[in-house]
Structure 1
């Protein structure tokens, strides 16, 4: 493979990006600052410590959206820890309030993050475990939270109606809207002398009714366990509460509805090529080309006596800017679409549409690996039908019913983001690599377009275009677009499910493929009208 930069240069550049990623993720872990120490001095566990005790020993916890709220006026992580963990052998969506950040109060980004977690749980048929300790809404931003926030309670009850259980473990205050989380859950565990669950605390009760009361009699764990019946189990401390939660999940009689590997049978081989080599292959300069096949062979299952081929490419001589084919990942059959040279032309779009139909015909999940500058523009391409061919690809992506997974490896610009199953097309999971960028177009291109428009506008008015004066405008636009296309900015907006180390891609995707098998996989053959 021909590359523009030496492998060691690419490795150094990617390692620097990964180090920066770890620094940003640490901000979420340490978001509580001095309040973490105060919290522990009270004998309480942090949100991540609670999760660590909840999940099965030695199993992975796939944290989702850890950078939610990045670059905003709130702590990184949005006072919430979410992710997928295995509890007593059952894959669960876990949502834990971080009480060290403003008492676990929910801000607008917490709400977006929680909604995304609930969507993942619903799409993949996952029981939900809420580790609850929250003062409710962040009052200064209540106008952004109150109206949409009710959806969280709606989704909990709908989950129960689908026979997908919900569990709430209450460790501390669960006030106002926060009280409805245990109120709407199927199973509720409260920690003695810590849990406080009420719609209004003693001060508000006095203001509203004139009644004087105290926390314990108004909403304490013992009261709810002995009198109101809002608690199903009274735990003596936090560890006991987590023990009880694990026993509740163990008794759910939960079974996956999708494909389940045969116990004790090794159905896949590790990649033929070392995933660590991804650091040498993938440039952080998006203008440098790279062969996605090299990345694919370091992510998918390797060759074995059973199959002999790690990646079976489909239509390799047609539409060569898009590489598509079949592989398996942790034993799960999968179809892959990966951008090879950035731009998508008519041949690539038609090839993709056919391939997506084939995947739906045989109920096979799809993995989209982005490195695209978008669909090709120009007179010849417009006359050749690039719009209708791009529309065929987007039609296929939009109406495909098999689960989609997306990884933005490099560039993801323009309508190429849509055709390659970006966030707007509801992939089951979407992750980003640290050097990736996503925007309507590149910073230089966007600024250049604005300059052309400004120049033409001045000429139409009979004015002289101030090229020197536009330099500052161009620099401002380029800087703004560059910042807003970075993975941390996009992850902060909850436009992905996390920024990941490229070397972890296989493991992350393996967890996701296991999760999607909680539902049967059924393809769609009715794609509507393809404009031919």
Structure 2
């Protein structure tokens, strides 16, 4: 039998302690998500409504199919910066007229929807997700363009938006712009470069230069409507494909466009009957310790995540710090790699490499559940070939072409992040739990290394080592690394695609698997040289 058994004791003190810590982390996450939902705040939302306009999340709700899920991405982008949490743009994957789409919606209550460096990164990541997973794109447009004080960080990389939109079209991936308000200067090219454009009467303003700029540049007196109004673009310029009388009409027209694109997924649908896990996902909160140095058995997570808690483990007696095996999630077959006791030894690296090769031979997507401190160090392990074996694993991850989905459950340190398909290795989608950490190494280890280096330097120069200064420096370094490795700080920089409630991991992975199957799911049959 391959059905997992659980050894979890829900009456244990450790279970209650873990659950309490996870709930506190989730409460802090909820606070930040509420800030993102609030946008520019009550004053600006009210002013927006007074103009007869809908907030971006209400536009999204009308756009999506009734009662369908929405997988929001990068919700805490720009957290901890001078910019609003969420970075003035809403992105995610949802279903519109039975078509899974990437949705990008400007939030005009935040500085008029102006683009800052974080909203640029967030938009580009959403477009990348659309391209690699072959998902149509719906743009809900209302933006004043670039946040001018940060133009030096925007102007050059922002051109990539146009590149992505036109490349999507060339790949046969439909793009749609629904323009609710300003779409000026560079932003005017968004409806211009999308396959379809819907403009709202008396609200859409699409022009390269507004009346003040036209006056300064040419001396011409012009008004918004004649320069870039919906009626002009519908009757005269031809930029608009559909003329909407109001916002709801625009969304209706946008949904109609998606209903007629004759869209078909290239990957297979679920091939197995989805079954709920035999154990309650709610119990995941009591499994994961708040201290990332304390290990936990990922089989307990899998028992509450995969279909029917059925997990066919591969090489269970070899390389036991890495759990590998076959399962399905919401009916989609997957291969799973999950860290057990954190450290990756040579056996784990070779086991992972073989498993990734097998998944590619059978066209099975891979799920990486990270909780790793990296590859093992020390004389014995260096002499045993840990570098070569780690390179095999990273080679396999790099050249694997089946979709990768990655979740950082607790820690992702050092080259273990790379071997477990971290951001640099292009997982199709990557998420983190609220207590997760990501850094070159743990804060105490990093500070300790710096202290040792300082002592060695003092000894080599024949000078006395300042113990008090070392203690102060060590504390400062630990504090810095703790801040920078915090899940909120990591997701703010878009090093993952969002923080998720551990209890929702199964559904998040299910939605992600559905999305990646919009494209072909094909493994690589030939790999590069593996150093033996």
For the aligned pair, the TM-score class normalised by the smaller chain equals over 0.9
1:130 to 1:2, Cα distance in 2 relative to 1, 3 A: closer
Q: Report the Cα distance in structure 1 between the residues aligned to 2:216 and 2:174, rounded to whole angstroms.
A: 37
Provide the residue aligned with 1:16 in structure 2. Answer: 24
Provide the residue aligned with 1:30 in structure 2. Answer: 38
1:525 Cα offset (Å): 2.3
Please say if 1:332 is aligned against 2:332.
yes
Residues 54-108 of structure 1 show CA distances to partners (whole Å, capped at 9, x for unaligned) of 0000000111001111111211111100001100100001000000001001011
1:2 Cα offset (Å): 7.9
Q: Report the Cα distance in structure 2 between the residues aligned to 1:452 and 1:2, rounded to whole angstroms.
A: 40
Q: Report the Cα distance in structure 2 between the residues aligned to 1:469 and 1:149, rounded to whole angstroms.
A: 44
Please say if 1:274 is aligned against 2:244.
no
Please say if 1:287 is aligned against 2:290.
no
- Normalising by structure 1, we get a TM-score of 0.97
1:272 Cα offset (Å): 1.1
Does 170-179 or 30-39 show the bigger shift?
30-39
Provide the residue aligned with 1:475 in structure 2. Answer: 475
Task: Find 1:198's aligned residue among 182, 202, 207.
Answer: 207
Provide the residue aligned with 1:439 in structure 2. Answer: 439
Task: Find 2:62's aligned residue among 30, 45, 53.
Answer: 53
Structural mapping, 1:376-391, within 5 Å: 376-391=376-391
Q: Is the 8 A contact 2:8 2:300 kept in 1?
A: no
Q: Is the 8 A contact 2:269 2:332 kept in 1?
A: no
1:261 Cα offset (Å): 4.1
1:196 Cα offset (Å): 0.5
Q: Report the Cα distance in structure 2 between the residues aligned to 1:5 and 1:466, rounded to whole angstroms.
A: 43
Aligned length: 523
Provide the residue aligned with 1:504 in structure 2. Answer: 504
Q: Is the 8 A contact 1:284 1:436 kept in 2?
A: no
Q: Report the Cα distance in structure 2 between the residues aligned to 1:426 and 1:279, rounded to whole angstroms.
A: 28
Q: Report the Cα distance in structure 2 between the residues aligned to 1:2 and 1:169, rounded to whole angstroms.
A: 50
Residues 272-294 of structure 1 show CA distances to partners (whole Å, capped at 9, x for unaligned) of 11111101111121122210000
Q: Is the 8 A contact 2:432 2:487 kept in 1?
A: yes
Please say if 1:92 is aligned against 2:93.
no
Q: Secondary structure at the match of 2:198?
A: strand
Q: Secondary structure at the match of 2:59?
A: helix
Q: Report the Cα distance in structure 2 between the residues aligned to 1:443 and 1:256, rounded to whole angstroms.
A: 45
Q: Secondary structure at the match of 1:350?
A: helix
Residues 223-271 of structure 1 show CA distances to partners (whole Å, capped at 9, x for unaligned) of 1111111111111110110001000100111111110248xxx812111
Q: Report the Cα distance in structure 2 between the residues aligned to 1:53 and 1:323, rounded to whole angstroms.
A: 43
1:31 Cα offset (Å): 2.6
Provide the residue aligned with 2:407 in structure 1. Answer: 407
Task: Note the residue ranges of structure 2 that are not aligned, 5 or more in a row.
Answer: 1-6
Structural mapping, 1:310-325, within 5 Å: 310-325=310-325
Provide the residue aligned with 2:4 in structure 1. Answer: none
Q: Secondary structure at the match of 1:254?
A: coil
Provide the residue aligned with 2:3 in structure 1. Answer: none
Provide the residue aligned with 1:297 in structure 2. Answer: 303
* Runs (4+) off by over 2 Å: 1-5
Q: Is the 8 A contact 1:403 1:521 kept in 2?
A: yes
Q: Is the 8 A contact 1:395 1:530 kept in 2?
A: yes
1:26 Cα offset (Å): 1.1
Q: Is the 8 A contact 1:195 1:221 kept in 2?
A: yes
Q: Report the Cα distance in structure 2 between the residues aligned to 1:453 and 1:160, rounded to whole angstroms.
A: 53
Q: Secondary structure at the match of 2:319?
A: coil
Q: Secondary structure at the match of 1:83?
A: strand
Q: Report the Cα distance in structure 1 between the residues aligned to 2:333 and 2:195, rounded to whole angstroms.
A: 35
Q: Secondary structure at the match of 1:6?
A: helix
Provide the residue aligned with 2:253 in structure 1. Answer: 244
Task: Note the residue ranges of structure 1 that are not aligned, 5 or more in a row.
Answer: 304-309
Please say if 1:513 is aligned against 2:521.
no
Q: Report the Cα distance in structure 1 between the residues aligned to 2:397 and 2:172, rounded to whole angstroms.
A: 30
Q: Secondary structure at the match of 2:308?
A: coil
1:5 Cα offset (Å): 5.7
Indicate the RMSD between aligned Cα atoms, in angstroms: 1.1
Structural mapping, 1:118-197, within 5 Å: 118-197=127-206
Does 400-409 or 40-49 show the bigger shift?
40-49
Q: Is the 8 A contact 1:83 1:94 kept in 2?
A: yes
Provide the residue aligned with 1:306 in structure 2. Answer: none
